[in-house]
Amino acid sequence: MRKYDIIVVMEQRFTSTDTAVIHRAHQLRRDVIVLREDKAWLSKYSAHPSRMLWRMARRGALISLGAGRYAIPIIGSSAPAYKAWQPMLHARLAPHGDYYLGGLSSLIEHHLTDLSSSISCAVIGFPHQDLQEGRVDVAGRPVRAVSTTRDVFTEELGVERVRLSRLGHYFRSNATRALVDCLWHPKLCGETETWVTAWGRGLQEALNPRDACRYALALGPSVARRVGLMLELVGYGEIAREMIPGKVRWANDVTALDADGVTVTDATPVDSFWRVAYNVPRDRVEGWLSYGK
């Protein structure tokens, strides 16, 4: 078993205490038991709550998520009883530092694509080799993560708190931030056609062009120029030129539109104003944008 995997025990063996703990958790509307937050009531069942929960997980009565957090399984199954996987992702990532659900996962949740995916995509504010190399599963879903040292996890920069119940919540990029992140870490957002089409769909109501510029500037000049070009293509060029200053456009060398796409050569067409190279043919980009609309 890898160090950071969820512990899953196929055979379930419940003691009377296990049953009482799970029943009390249901009464408290706990989808995930958190040792730090639930220690007071757990202490009524054991003088050592942490050991009790660990033993329950070993018996299959709970599913360990790490960092003192445990999900309640379906009776007779190793699958979590709680069907919303996002709070379990939160329980797994939050103890390490800042994070948000992003990339393709966020595009799907905001209905900016018709695709579905069993992969959970996240941006994390801490180094974690296993997460970054795709060696972690949460709630039966592989996690794909990119790490950044930039301070870009605030509400002001488009990270929203999503509450699913009185106690269950997680963090996610809002729709505009999800679109901007496509120009930052496109591999996290699916195929190029997927995220470009999402930009076209975002024009209907999701995209706030001024916020897009603010978010992009916080992610660096290359991202800001790519976002400026995309806004130009979807009809918000005037706003982009107003909000993204000239010093940003000339801050570094020509940048590729698709940061994870094919290498730019001397023959690659370049937008002279934004200094962005079309390493994805412009006619394809415009076609996908129209399809999204």
The pLDDT score that the predictor gives to residue 11 is 53
The pLDDT score that the predictor gives to residue 79 is 52
What are the backbone dihedrals phi and psi of residue 210, each rounded to the nearest 5 degrees, phi first?
-70, -40
**pLDDT 10s digits, 69-82:** 888 876 655 555 45
- Alpha-carbon distances of 282 from 34, 222, 257, 258, 279, rounded to whole Å: 50, 18, 10, 12, 9
Q: Residue 27 in 3-state DSSP? A: helix
| Regions of the chain where pLDDT drops below 50 | 1-10, 81
Q: Taking a C-beta distance cutoff of 8 angstroms, is the pair 23, 71 a contact?
A: no
Report which secondary-structure segment, H or E, holds 162: strand 159-163
pTM of the full predicted structure?
A: 0.78
The pLDDT score that the predictor gives to residue 93 is 94
Q: Residue 12 in 3-state DSSP? A: coil
- Alpha-carbon distances of 166 from 29, 30, 87, 289, rounded to whole Å: 8, 9, 12, 39
Tell me whether strands 255-256 and 169-173 are parallel, antiparallel or unpaired. unpaired
